[in-house]
Amino acid sequence: MTSLIHAIECLNIWIGRAFGWCILILTLSVAYEVFVRYVLNAPTVWAFDMMVQMYGALFLMAGPYALAQDTHVRADVIYRFLPPRWQARVDLLLYIVFFFPGMLALFWYGWEIASDSWRYQEVSWNSPARIQIYFFKTLIPLAGGLFIIQGIAECLRCYLAIKTDKWLPRLEDSRETEDILTGQASGLELE
């Protein structure tokens, strides 16, 4: 079970890293657009749409990565004082009641949106460039699917914590600055 959990985490970490390059592309495109618009007085027609798609891709694909790293924001005023067994019970209940219905809806309706977009070969109506956006809309059900897979891994992690009263260490890709400064390691190193 541990190897399955870590395999799913590894997949979402790898995809998150790959889409992390969108930040560089987004930064370079904004810098380019600012330069050509304000220095050369020759704005592009494609830069805005490309930036929106890069940001959207980053936003969608960073979600499963953040879940795999347990870095989503949570209100843990009471939760953090509970023993791991009870934390896992709370998490499992919340995954079943809220997470999976939401992610199934994201996947299902995202699939409908993406398939319609591919059928119409949808283009952006917001700019004169008319760039294709059906590629981007494909990321909606993909993100939903990755969330569902990671959610299954999280439920398995909860099951193990309920049995053993301790959390399975996570594959570590990123760390909180506070942990780095205090020298705490939260999981296994990812290679």
pLDDT of 191 over the 60 cut:
no
Cα–Cα distance between 86 and 77 in angstroms, integer? 14
pLDDT tens digits, one per residue of 79-131: 889 999 999 999 999 999 999 999 999 999 999 999 999 999 988 777 777 88
Cα–Cα distance between 188 and 191 in angstroms, integer? 9
Q: Are 106 and 64 in contact (CB under 8 A)?
A: no
Sign of the C-alpha dihedral computed for residues 107, 112, 115 and 116 taken in this order: negative
pLDDT tens digits, one per residue of 163-175: 999 999 888 776 6
Specify the pTM: 0.84
